[in-house]
Amino acid sequence: MKKLSLVLLALALALATTPAALANPMAADFTFTGPGSVVGTGVLIGVQQAGNPGVYNVTGGYGTFNDGSGSVSLSLVINPIPGNVSYSPTGGFIYDNVVTPAAGPGLILDYWGLLFAEAHSGELNLYANNLPVGGPVTDISYEEGRNGTLVASGTFSMTGFTLPVPEPSMAFLLIPALGFVGVIRKKFMA
């Protein structure tokens, strides 16, 4: 009887801590610097790709961008098909909003990069500048506007990304499971 209750308890704990039970959220600050006084800062929010540890689909974000002539607010353009390549609303850019925060300098962004809408109706695409494909990734580039005009190259960094945590709903599922184990155990002990 004691073995049965221990087996049920182990099963409940195993189900509550499976990878599917984890939300794997990511929240991080980002900084982009370019030549002169070009700088961008903000916050990115995302979720880990299923079956792809360390790779995140960015689902939200905001910040500011200053190209040296003035500052503008940014908001992330949501990718309609997370993890896949999409065209920007103006058709000027291709993006996927995928990041790999722990990959290190020059490897955080991929070739398609992040797409932001600027407050004045423009778009800003931050992406890894690793052409030719397979070449060294030493910097990232940004393009601003509606026509995909290359403005400059610079560096991109992320700090403070969070680690995976269980979803709160899983704790609520574990409570009845533990109660069920207690009832079964009591029934067999009597």
Give this prediction's pTM. 0.68
Each residue's pLDDT, cut to its tens digit, for the chain (190 residues) gives 555 544 444 445 444 444 444 457 889 999 888 777 888 899 999 999 988 888 999 999 999 988 788 888 999 999 999 989 999 988 888 899 999 887 766 678 888 889 999 887 788 888 886 554 444 444 556 766 655 455 567 777 888 766 555 555 555 555 666 566 566 666 666 6
DSSP string, the chain: -HHHHHHHHHHHHHHHTSGGGB--EEEEEEEEE-STT-EEEEEEEEEEPTT-TT-EEEEEEEEEEE-SS-EEEEEEPPPSSTTS-EE-TTSS-EE--EE-GGG-TT-SB-SS-EEEEETTS-EEEEEE--TTTTS----EEEEEESS--EEEEEEEEEE-PPPP-B-HHHHHHHHHHHHHHHHHHHHHH-
The pLDDT of residue 124 is 85
The pLDDT of residue 189 is 63
